Amino acid sequence: MSSTSIDDLLAFEEESAPVGPQPRDSRWRPVLRLLAWAAALVAVLLVGLRAVGLQVSLPVLVAGVLAVLAVRRVTALLAPPPPPPGGGRVGAGEEDGSYNWGARDALRSAINRWEWPLDWSSTRPERFTGTVLPRIGELADERMRLKHGVTRESDPARARVLLGDRLWTFLETPPRRTPSPRDLAVIVAELESI
């Protein structure tokens, strides 16, 4: 095991400013690069057009290539900045604490995976027992497996003790009606206490 602490991992030290004069980029460098690209493209196009038997005026070809390169340069300068890399968090100052419900993100997808089946099952209890109840059972098994090393299938007696009678009965005998939100809140609280 490493002896690195969390403080070492999260420490931030600013880099010192570079010493000495910085070499300044020439203002002519981008212009010369553009002209070099233009000359190369004109040469390739001229050879290609002559190879297929077409003749185009050299000033027209140069003007066309320069126009295309200029438009490309302008659009590159006006393009929006690229999005931040995934997984990283961009600090934009103080957040107001509200959640953007219109955005498509992983939190909303996770909520929808529970919200839709719960909504569907409000009128039909068989949907609850077929869709939601198995998921709650999987959550209970996973929590017990992670914290205690058992599941309902591997050690039913110990699992019953860990879950408690109310949660065990709820998971093992399907309810006749869909539980109310208050009942589900109690069940979730019991799951979290495992």
Which residue, chain included where needed, has tokens 């068989």? Answer: 126
81-99 confidence digits (pLDDT tens):
777 665 545 555 566 767 6
115-165 confidence digits (pLDDT tens):
767 676 777 777 778 878 888 888 889 889 999 999 999 999 999 999 998
